[in-house]
Chains A and B, each alone.
Chain A
């Protein structure tokens, strides 16, 4: 299908790549369909581009890239809405805020995006414990964890 985006122009995207968020993202509940865009296959930062609003896109990252021991506790009801039993079945992404100085970029570890890659259903979940912050400084810890990068599909 053709995908209109503000940042990347008009793209051709296979419909199978569309990830459906039944609840949208928190604060963006009306937008439910996204695709993940990346120029290079293993780029650490990628885009979560809304299918239905050309301007709406979030920078995302695998939290394991900079926090290898990341283990969010998630409500069972969130897992069952993704049709999974355990969080290990999900692909986990964090939404990134990049300020004027990109070295200060932060990732939201408090509310990760969980994707069931088998059925391409996703949800932004609020973690149960207060163990992880909403603004985790990525580059401070990146250098200690660079061996643990994970490659995601979907």
Chain B
């Protein structure tokens, strides 16, 4: 992993994406991100949660969901 030191209001460029340190407060760093609209930007922990759910969903051993549909009947 490349590690760079930046001060407040300094930026780095990743391709055409700019990431700027906009505020520092204790343990919190605020980052400003300037990127083309089509570049998806997510907090990593959220992305990880969704990826984990999708992987778990894809690993289902179930082949027939007809029985499960019965659970939706009263």
Contacts and interface: CB of A to CB of B under 8 A. Distances in A.
Q: How big is the B interface, by class? A: 20 to 34
A146 B42 CA distance: 34
Contacts of A28: 54, 58
B56 interface: yes
A85 B54 CA distance: 27
A103 B63 contact: no
A58 B69 contact: no
Interface string A39-61: 11001111100000000111100
Contacts, number: 85
Interface stretch (B13-21, B25-33, B43-51): B43-51
Contacts of B60: 59, 97-98
Contact of A126 (B47, B63, B68): B47
A142 B68 contact: no
A134 B50 contact: yes
Given A65-B72, A102-B68, A105-B68, A126 B58 contact: no
Contacts of B37: 77, 80
B10 interface: no
Contact of B54 (A27, A77, A81, A146): A27
Given A59-B57, A59-B60, A97-B53, 15 more contacts: A28-B58, A39-B66, A43-B69, A45-B69, A46-B65, A59-B68, A97-B60, A102-B68, A110-B49, A110-B50, A111-B50, A124-B54, A134-B49, A135-B53, A146-B72
Interface of A: 7-8, 23, 25-28, 39-40, 43-47, 56-59, 65, 77, 80-81, 95-98, 102-103, 105, 108, 110-111, 124, 126, 134-135, 139, 142-143, 146
